[in-house]
Amino acid sequence: MKYIDPHIHMVSRTTDDYARMALAGCVALTEPAFWAGFDRSSAQGFFDYFRQLTEYEPKRAAQFGIQHYTWLCINPKEAEDPGFARDVIALIPQFLDRPNVLGIGEIGLNKNSRNELQILEAQIALAAERDQLILVHTPHLEDKLKGTRLIMDALRANGKIEPARVLIDHVEEHTVKPVLDRGFWAGMTLYPDTKCTPQRAADIFETYGNERLWINSAGDWGPSDPLAVPKCHQELLRRGHPASFIEKVSFRNPVEFLGQSPKFSAPA
Amino acid sequence: MSASKYTCPLPRAKALDAYFLEHRAKLIDLAAFLDRLDRADPQGAAEDFRLAALRQALAILSDGRGERARRVLECFSDPTAEPIPKAPMKGALGAWDGKAAKP
């Protein structure tokens, strides 16, 4: 069954992972800019990273018939130094017209600090100014509930952002309803220990429906599984959900949201 | 979504067949974890905020009310509304340590 993984960090994965994802039915993916596991020593490190996301990774994915799209930003884990973060933000506009760039992301908060919020607001403003889609990272564990509220307030405060053009990711049972109620799209991330298991993601679909909601692996350099999305499909099938349900959450929903960017082309 | 409250396509008996052993094991793991903590010397420390949140969450499992997953997650969450002055670290601890945002 063909599917889209709308959030995965392929710079941290091997070429074998591309091969396995293609075998499992992945036809397209989107890769947000994120924290490398260490702080970059200069803004120039981000310039190289943005080249990797817009030049190198699309070619690597194409070898396996997978369309590669990306999102650019400075992530909240490196936003505690506002001067550094603004130097990185200044690099982004020159990359926004590249053919696989869908928007700004994954922006958001990590520890819900004032500096993180200031840099989030600056990147929301950039997205508004350049009419870009937004992919949002919500904080981990104890910080998620508060951070999700602060992020939604910041998006509303900008005044120019349409909620339907924003995907708020890493929702769980305590954040999914407020995100959907405010008109945003929501993403569930399938992680082995934190965020959602495939079972809980299926539970959330059964509780909140399958409109404006998708699943992703967010596979990266930490404990994560690039095949988490098809594993969740197996869980849905095991429960008796029809194949059309899976097509809706893992293909038609991503196509509907991502298709708001003229650069996104729905895979055949 | 269906208006029915039975939104899981599996009949309850089939859901038990599918998931009971897995969750029985998880519950015993949790019981063994609490026993392990009892055997570990607290060295005079007051109860850790993570354990306090865990005990609060455990009560939710048997209170007979719904939306348990949401309410358990809220037990571990920072309930304050203001941004904190400065990020103290990059990671998260799994439960709120009770330190409210300072003005």
Domain match, B34 and B59 both: no
Q: Using DSSP bridges, classify how beta strands A133-137 and A166-168 pair: parallel, antiparallel or unpaired.
A: parallel
CB contact under 8 A, B81 and A207: no
So what's the pLDDT on residue A11? 98
Q: What is the pLDDT of residue B103?
A: 42
Are residue B48 and residue B74 in the same domain, yes or no?
A: yes
Q: Write out the residues of chain A at the interface with chain B, using a CB-CB cutoff of 8 A.
A: 35, 77, 80, 110-117, 139-146, 149-150, 172-174, 199-200, 203, 206-210, 238-241
**Tally of domains within chain B:** 2
Residue B102 lies in a domain: no
Contacts of A114 in chain B (CB under 8 A): 83-86
B76 pLDDT band (50/70/90 cuts)?
very high
Tens of pLDDT, residue by residue over B25-58, are 999 999 999 999 999 999 988 889 999 999 999 9
Q: What percent of chain A clears pLDDT 70, i.e. is strictly above it?
A: 100
CA distance A256 to B8: 26
Do B20 and B47 belong together in one domain? no
Contacts of B99 in chain A (CB under 8 A): none
Residue B24, domain member (yes or no): yes
> How many Å apart are CA A55 and CA B75, to the nearest integer?
44
Residues B34 and B47 in one domain: no
pLDDT band, very low/low/confident/very high, at B100 (cuts 50, 70, 90) = low
> What is the model's pLDDT at position B102?
47
Q: Is the pLDDT of residue B22 over 90?
A: yes
d(CA A173, CA A216): 16
Contacts 24+ apart (CB under 8 A), B94-98: B94/A141, B94/A142, B94/B50, B95/A141, B95/A142, B95/B49, B95/B50, B95/B52, B95/B53, B95/B54, B96/A142, B96/B49, B96/B53, B97/A142, B97/B49, B98/B49
Question: Tens of pLDDT along A127-155?
Answer: 999 999 999 999 999 999 999 999 999 99
CA A130 – CA A95 distance, rounded (Å) = 12
Give chain B positions within 8 Å (CB) of A77.
90
Q: Which of the residue ranges A191-195, B5-9, B75-79 would you say has the lowest mean pLDDT?
A: A191-195
| Residues A90-111: tens digit of each pLDDT | 999 999 999 999 999 999 999 9
Mean pLDDT score of chain A: 97
d(CA A86, CA A82): 6
Residue whose pair of structure tokens reads 């005990």 in the numeric block? B55
What domains can you pick out in chain A, each with its CATH number?
A: 3-258 (3.20.20.140)
B51 plus B69 within the same structural domain: yes
Tell me what the mean pLDDT of segment A62-71 comes to. 98
State the pLDDT at residue B45. Answer: 87
Tell whether B59 is covered by a domain: yes
Please check whether residues B55 and B72 belong to one and the same domain.
yes
User: Domain range holding B63?
Assistant: 43-78
Q: Please check whether residues B36 and B61 belong to one and the same domain.
A: no
Q: What residues contact residue A154 under an 8 Å CB cut-off, 6+ apart?
A: A117, A120, A121, A124
In a domain, B34, yes or no: yes
For residue B27, is it within any domain?
yes
Q: Residue A71 pLDDT more than 60?
A: yes
pTM of the model: 0.96
Chain B: residues touching A (Cβ < 8 Å) = 1, 7-10, 18-19, 67, 69-70, 73-74, 76-81, 83-97, 101
- In-domain check, residue B29: yes
DSSP string, B5-63: S--SSS-HHHHHHHHHHHHHHHHHHHHHHHHHHHHS--TTPPPPHHHHHHHHHHHHHTS
User: Across the interface, do B7 and A206 touch by the CB < 8 Å criterion?
Assistant: yes
Which one-letter DSSP state was computed for residue A217? -
Task: Tell me, yes or no, whether B36 and B48 share the same domain.
Answer: no
pLDDT at B99 over 80: no
Split at pLDDT 50, 70, 90, the class of B1 is: low
Chain A residues whose CB is inside 8 A of the B98 CB are none
Q: Tell me the pLDDT band of A193, cut-offs 50, 70 and 90.
A: confident
